[in-house]
Structure 1
Amino acid sequence: MMFDRIKEKLEILADAAKYDVSCSSSGSKRSNKNKGLGNSDGMGICHSYTEDGRCVSLLKILLTNHCIFDCAYCVTRRSNDIKRAAFKVQEVVDLTINFYRRNYIEGLFLSSGIFKDADFTMERLIQVAKKLRLEENFNGYIHLKSIPGASDELMHEAGLYADRLSVNIEIPTVSGLKKLAPEKDHADFIKPMEKVKNEIIQYNSEKKLIKSTPKYAPAGQSTQMIVGATGESDREIMLSANHYYKNYNMKRVYYSGYVPIRNDPRLPSLGSQVPMLRENRLYQTDWLMRFYGFEVNELLNPQFPNLDVEVDPKLSWALRNPQHFPVDINRAEKETLLRIPGVGLKSVSKILNARKYRKLNYDHLKAIGVALNRAKYFIICDSRGWETKDLGSAKIKSLILRNSVGKFRKEYSSQLSLF
């Protein structure tokens, strides 16, 4: 009977947790000591596929789906007629250990609805992590969702036991949050972010002097925005993300497409779920900002406030800025090479190394991994042809799209032939 009740809770609270996508864990280096359980050293845990193809998993649940707030966009809002459940602290600890021993998981992602108040809820989340670390000697990955409005003391304690902390900003703009969650105060989201940022800075400073300084949130902090519940443009969303990266040292900002859950005049209609492609374009833009040296206002501006769904944001930028092209592959600086469509971070490193020994042509670039179906319209190398063609941006876009469709059809037909 007890097992059936735990199973029912798990079904309810695991399903409720699926709306939170911010469960990446790269960056943690908590090694296993004293023959404990688990190890997040070096690779961390994430609910995704790693670069080498490994799938790693974690127990992703809510402590409870009871909530004192009535946010229009949230499935666990207090006015929603759903099954409610709540785990006891020890139940979450036991589930984590039992699942780990059976090799089902490699870590824990624990969030919660807010019951009673922020501090009461945060205390219980910390109790889970503390029991796992101190009583079970668990060294696997733990990601705790920080509760907006939680006290500085609790945020300090949380970071001593969790690898990563995160506060979901939920709606990208203050006005959007006020519209859909009038009971919440934007300042309550910022307070724990600021505390975690300062604690991490302090820890990094102290560990240079004292090696035994207790680790504090070694995988940093992240946040998540719901996209499409309010009318923000892609530019507004990315400006907001850029603000959190620069001012709160975020490791990641996640973008979650709004899933229609109710009829409400403040929300999009039930039939207007945010396309997955929009999420994808936002993540691509995020990547360009963090690793390719792009600024938000280069990719999105008042004239182009939304991303082109037909092509990736780097290609879209290049088509709008023909004055920067063609780029000479054999002479351009690293920063310029990174802006060529179809040329990625690894390809740039290989180009810089290979051109020390000879001039590169199309065959070399193809072997390096450059996507020539896009790059050839924007480069000069030790081959001739495309740079002499008088092609406008519209024509280049149509050629790339046509070739991409043709390539997809060819690959699809080839896969079908296997069956």
Structure 2
Amino acid sequence: MAAVNVERILKKIMILADAAKYDVSCASSGVVRTGVLGHKAKIGSTFRRGICHSFTPDGRCISLLKILLTNQCRYDCLYCINRTSGNVPRARFSPEEIVWLTLDLYQRNCIEGLFLSSGVMRSPDHTMEQLVAVARSLRERHGFMGYIHLKTIPGASALLIDMAGRYADRISANVELPDRASLSQLAPDKNARAIHAALHLAHAGITEARTERRLAEGRIRALPNTAARPALVPRFAPGGQSTQMIVGADASNDAIILSFSQRLYQRYGLRRVYYSAFSPVPGAASCLPHSPPPLRREHRLYQADWLMRFYGFSADEILDAAPDGMLATECDPKLAWALRHREFFPVDLQSAPREALLRVPGLGTRIVGRLLAARRVRTLRLADLMRQKTSVTKMLPFICVSDHHPGKSLDCLNPYRAYRTAYAGRVPEQLVLFDLPP
């Protein structure tokens, strides 16, 4: 690209990178895509441990080029700063400019991947064609092996979504709001049915590709070593798909949000649901809140989501500790559940199954795995927990080991005393890694 265009590119970056900050559904874990070292036809690689090199002001660790193809949008979503009636500067990249920018920043060691979304231009199909053209050029023309996350456009054809999955490591379609009535009111141009159709098409493509690849690998292993080995089935979005919900833009409480998330995980096999606290936009409609929800609410939703994904909790179990439909802000959902179900405790760390250990406040999946391995060869003591560098004080009322038993003290613990025991009289505060600009 000619040097005379660099200044124009920088102006576009300032507009479109800032417009992309409201989409938080980007992560780079779960993918292996390795290039050939020293081979001129390949550039870059991606590993399962993810891409983490820089920090955002709110603490997220990223090194993706996170940008919009354009912030020009024909939709008029009331909660979106890029809506067609919004008074913001507009810009648009061509697919060739995005490709050049990605390769240039990658070769300068500034990024290791691309997160690309877009406002809806002429139609969903036209916009999706532009997004796919970027990924196709990077993969086929330039041999780019780094991470690519493409945002699919609901309403686009099944063929274009299939092509997006063939070139991208992860794809996503935002459901925006859990309540269809709220979506119709706040985003009248969007169709909940089209959003779910896009999620279904992606899920079907991922499932089919994984099944075919598993069968192909089995056939290859059965071949003799001297036989010519056929090529494996191409991957389809090996990093899976994700989605995003806006928290606090409508009257949906945490119970509605978590129940909806659980249905999404069950129906579409999502890798992750992201929760984004509503951010008031200039000139917002009167039906929208005038202030954002507390960040701690978003944090509690992420914790509850983590319990559903990795700890064996269902949404109903988590919400059982939230009778008003809202998660407690003063303590995490796991501790809230433990306080409400004190008959489940204390848990004997020496004999309890893994499922029971995962429900103990303060015990994570890694520590549970280490305890299960350790108790096969010795009797567990408090010293074993202390060596794990975990909050032993938090879990003492809920566990028993050879040299500790809470006895009947757990029966008389009320939520306030248990909370003080867990947090040692310290009220948790929101951590700020960087000073936010005024």
- Kept in 2, the 8 Å contact 1:347–1:369? The answer is no
Aligned partner of residue 144 in structure 1, secondary structure: strand
Q: How many residues align?
A: 403
Give a deviation string over 1:311-368, Cα, whole Å, max 9, x none.
Answer: 0100000001111111111121111111011111111111112222232222221113
In the TM superposition, what are the counterparts of 1:232-381 in structure 2 within 5 Å?
232-261=252-281, 262-269=283-290, 272-301=291-320, 303-381=323-401
Instruction: Quickly say closer, same or farther: Cα 1:199–1:24, change in 2 above 3 A.
Output: same
CA distance, structure 2, for counterparts of residue 330 and residue 362 of structure 1: 12
Instruction: Quickly say closer, same or farther: Cα 1:407–1:73, change in 2 above 3 A.
Output: closer
What amino acid is the match of 2:288? L
Q: Which residue of 2 aligns with 1:227?
A: 247
Q: Does 1:11 align with 2:19?
A: no
Larger deviation: 104-113 or 23-32?
A: 23-32
Q: Which residue of 2 aligns with 1:120?
A: 126
Q: Which residue of 2 aligns with 1:69?
A: 75
Instruction: Quickly say closer, same or farther: Cα 1:44–1:114, change in 2 above 3 A.
Output: same
Q: Which residue of 1 aligns with 2:225?
A: none
TM-score w.r.t. structure 2 length?
Answer: 0.88
TM-score w.r.t. structure 1 length?
Answer: 0.92
Give a deviation string over 1:26-46, Cα, whole Å, max 9, x none.
Answer: 111112144411101433436
Larger deviation: 361-370 or 277-286?
A: 361-370
Unaligned runs of 5+ in 1: 409-419
Which residue of 16, 20, 29 corresponds with 1:26?
29
What amino acid is the match of 2:31? S
Q: Which residue of 1 aligns with 2:237?
A: 217
Instruction: Quickly say closer, same or farther: Cα 1:151–1:86, change in 2 above 3 A.
Output: same
In the TM superposition, what are the counterparts of 1:89-128 in structure 2 within 5 Å?
89-128=95-134
CA distance, structure 2, for counterparts of residue 407 and residue 10 of structure 1: 37
In the TM superposition, what are the counterparts of 1:100-179 in structure 2 within 5 Å?
100-179=106-185
CA distance, structure 2, for counterparts of residue 27 and residue 20 of structure 1: 20
Aligned partner of residue 387 in structure 2, secondary structure: helix
What amino acid is the match of 2:16? L
Instruction: Quickly say closer, same or farther: Cα 1:292–1:401, change in 2 above 3 A.
Output: closer
Aligned partner of residue 99 in structure 1, secondary structure: helix
CA distance, structure 1, for counterparts of residue 101 and residue 385 of structure 2: 50
What amino acid is the match of 1:138? F
Aligned partner of residue 215 in structure 2, secondary structure: coil
Q: Which residue of 2 aligns with 1:412?
A: none
Unaligned runs of 5+ in 2: 217-230, 430-438
CA distance, structure 2, for counterparts of residue 384 and residue 125 of structure 1: 59
- Kept in 1, the 8 Å contact 2:394–2:422? The answer is no
Identity of aligned residues (%): 45
Q: Does 1:396 align with 2:417?
A: yes
Instruction: Quickly say closer, same or farther: Cα 1:386–1:349, change in 2 above 3 A.
Output: same
What amino acid is the match of 1:144? L
Instruction: Quickly say closer, same or farther: Cα 1:125–1:46, change in 2 above 3 A.
Output: farther
Q: Which runs of 4+ in 1 moved over 4 A?
A: 46-49, 53-56
Q: Does 1:196 align with 2:202?
A: yes
Which residue of 79, 84, 88 corresponds with 2:85?
79
- Kept in 2, the 8 Å contact 1:288–1:294? The answer is yes
Aligned partner of residue 368 in structure 1, secondary structure: coil
Aligned partner of residue 104 in structure 1, secondary structure: coil
C-alpha displacement of 1:209: 3.4
C-alpha displacement of 1:24: 0.6
